[in-house]
Amino acid sequence: MLKAHYSFEKSGVFNPKQVFYHLSIPELFEHALQKKEGILSSTGAFSVLTGAYTGRSPEDRFFVDDETTHNLIDWGKVNKPISQEIYERLYAKMMSYLQQKDVYLDDAYVGTDPKNRLAVRFINEYAYCSIFVNNMFLEPNTQELQSFVPDFTVFCFPRFKAIPGIDGVRSEAFVIINFKEKKIIIGGTSYGGEIKKAVFTVMNFLLPQKGVLPMHCSANIGKDGDVAIFFGLSGTGKTSLSADIERRLIGDDEHGWSEQGIFNFEGGCYAKCINLSKEKEPQIWDAIRYGAIMENIYLAPDSRQPDYTDNRYTENTRVSYPIEFIPNALIPGIAKHPQVIIFLTADAFGVMPPVAKLTTEKAIYNFILGYTSKLAGTERGIVEPQATFSVCFGAPFMPLNPKTYAQMLGKKISQHGSRVYLVNTGWVGGPYGIGKRIDIDYTRKMVKVAIDGTIDQNGYHEDTVFQLLIPNELPGIPNDILNPGNLWNNHSDYANEAQKLKNRFDEVMKKYLPL
């Protein structure tokens, strides 16, 4: 076994049973099987159940409030503070918990751009979480490993649970980010999304201070080198729509935008699998194989065949796989400035147009508004879509004041002349429960014409409620789909619902105006 250059003692690991450093995927796979962390599925992917926590637990995510963060973080319900004292006690308890236990240690980069990447050490209790980390982040080469000094260390010990009355946190699960100590501690939950999003949150705090805009978006590139990025809160379609057979995937979920262009934070993808079909999402379907980790997907008992329609564990069924599993992905994910920016929203009221063009001013407005619906499952307690306003289409991961990110985006859009579109992947013909979710094939067509620019050919008309520019006509898409009121049974119901939502927009935006 390799030896870590930067010793594990320096990372705080004291008196472990064995430290498994940088194991290969087959070795980790054997460990995970032997330790019965999960089972092998018929696809070859390793399948785990994460127990009570099958989505992120945003109320249990904290930042240590100290001189490094106090004046920078936009504190509130989303960015919650915790005292240094509570952190230190919990950290000490966690370190004593891991004595005489096996730990899996991985050194990885977050960020494909060497100038703007973060060197992160991951210390995991589960072997399969080490596979997850290998899938999701970037592996240093041998030379880089030999001189690897972590900028940040992540401890993920899901079987270690906090005691709410004693440990000063809300529940058994906690995710605490400590910028001064450069550590993240995660306990009580083994949902992979917590590891991934906590690390991105660190990037989103640090990069603006270096003049780089961090973005909660996926990205892909066309044959002519044209780059498109897709912003959107969880479940709106970043992963599904960026996996496109005609374009090369740059990255799945988070990118930085620097003076040079964009770069991916990740080395892999983390796709939702509920109702996954080979026909509609062939790339994701084919990526579910040996090396991938399936979370909370029901397998038939004997055949171990996945049933993607089954939501008995959660709606938020997931699979993680390295980006290499997507054919023709651009590796490393570094590309020039985006020509096209797509804001994805999933409108559960069925009143937003499925595609609209945005002026720069409207783009900033919609970016700060961050309207979408939280879809069932990604966060605890959400069982049906719920309207939400998530600044920068990623509020839970953006610790700084939203205007910081929005102003940077505005400047970049003007500087590089990027075209911006709003794409609604939510409900048509009525609200959730009455209408239905727009067919992904229609959405793909709209995205395609937005990217190649032909969407502009037949001109636009303005919708009266949201003042959005709706295309007059798009080949292959019925006009009734383009204009949301048309498919409602009763037009005045539509008009009322649309106006109600617009009033909510005005209310939310009051505190940010003037932009």
Ligand X SMILES: C=C(OP(=O)(O)O)C(=O)O
E-assigned strand segments in 55-134:
61-64, 80-82, 103-110, 118-124
Q: How far is the CB of 197 from ligand ADP (least distance, A)?
A: 11
- The yes or no reply on residue 235 touching ligand X (CB under 6 A) is yes
56 is in an annotated binding site: yes
Q: How far is the CB of 407 from ligand ADP (least distance, A)?
A: 24
312 is in an annotated binding site: no
Whether 216 is catalytic is: yes
**Binding-site residue total for ligand ADP (CB under 6 A)?**
18
Closest CA relative to residue 464, chosen from 348, 368, 353: 353
Read off the amino acid at residue 246: E
What kind and span of H or E run contains 356? Answer: strand 355-358
Per the DSSP assignment, residues forming a β-bridge with 319 are 271, 294
As a whole number of angstroms, the distance between CA 382 and CA 294 comes to 21
- Whose tokens are 């990025």? That residue is 229
R_g over Cα of the chain: 22
- C-beta closer to ligand X: residue 273 or 465: 273
As a whole number of angstroms, the distance between CA 207 and CA 209 comes to 5
Residues 117-146 within binding reach of ligand ADP (CB under 6 A): none
Per the DSSP assignment, residues forming a β-bridge with 175 are 61, 186
Q: Which does 197 bind (CB under 5 to 8 A by kind): Mn ion, ligand ADP, ligand X, none?
A: ligand X
Q: Which of 239, 320, 372, 390 binds Mn ion (CB under 5 A)?
A: 239
Q: How far is the CB of 455 from Mn ion (least distance, A)?
A: 24
As a whole number of angstroms, the distance between CA 75 and CA 84 comes to 16
At 243, give phi and psi (nearest 5°).
Answer: -80, 95
5 is in an annotated binding site: no
Q: Give the dihedral sign, CA 351/412/210/72.
A: negative
Read off the amino acid at residue 370: G
Closest CA relative to residue 380, chosen from 116, 140, 61: 61
- The yes or no reply on residue 56 touching ligand ADP (CB under 6 A) is no
As a whole number of angstroms, the distance between CA 110 and CA 3 comes to 21
Give the contacts of 349 (CB within 8 A, at least 6 positions apart). Answer: 387, 426, 427, 431, 432, 497, 498, 500, 501
Q: Which does 193 bind (CB under 5 to 8 A by kind): ligand ADP, Mn ion, ligand X, none?
A: ligand X
Give the contacts of 394 (CB within 8 A, at least 6 positions apart). Answer: 204, 215, 216, 231, 233, 370
Map residues 376-415 to x or -, x wherever contact with ligand X holds by CB under 6 A: --x-------------------------------------
- The yes or no reply on residue 239 touching ligand ADP (CB under 6 A) is yes
Whether 502 is catalytic is: no
Map residues 248-287 to x or -, x wherever contact with ligand ADP holds by CB under 6 A: -----------------------xx-x------x------
Among residues 318, 357, 362, 419, which one is catalytic? 318
Strands 152-157 and 183-187: parallel
Q: How far is the CB of 238 from ligand X (least distance, A)?
A: 6
Residue closest to Mn ion, measured at CB: 239
438 is in an annotated binding site: yes
Q: Are 121 and 105 in contact (CB under 8 A)?
A: yes
- C-beta closer to Mn ion: residue 153 or 283: 283
Among residues 22, 56, 247, 248, which one is catalytic? 56
- C-beta closer to Mn ion: residue 362 or 374: 374
Region binding ligand ADP by CB under 6 A among candidate stretches 77-85, 100-108, 304-312, 434-442: 434-442
Region binding ligand X by CB under 6 A among candidate stretches 27-35, 86-94, 234-242, 357-365: 234-242
Map residues 338-377 to x or -, x wherever contact with ligand X holds by CB under 6 A: ----------------------------------------
Per-position DSSP letters for 107-121, written without gaps between them: EEEE-SSTTT-EEEE
Residues 410-449 within binding reach of ligand X (CB under 6 A): none
Q: Which of 234, 264, 424, 425 binds ligand X (CB under 6 A)?
A: 234
Q: Give the dihedral sign, CA 288/290/292/293.
A: positive
Binding annotation for Mn(2+): 197, 216, 253
Note the residues at the interface with ligand ADP (CB under 6 A).
232, 234-241, 271-272, 274, 281, 425, 437-438, 440, 443
Note the residues at the interface with ligand X (CB under 6 A).
56, 193, 197, 234-235, 238-239, 253, 270, 378
Active-site residues: which are they? 56, 197, 216, 234, 238-239, 253, 318
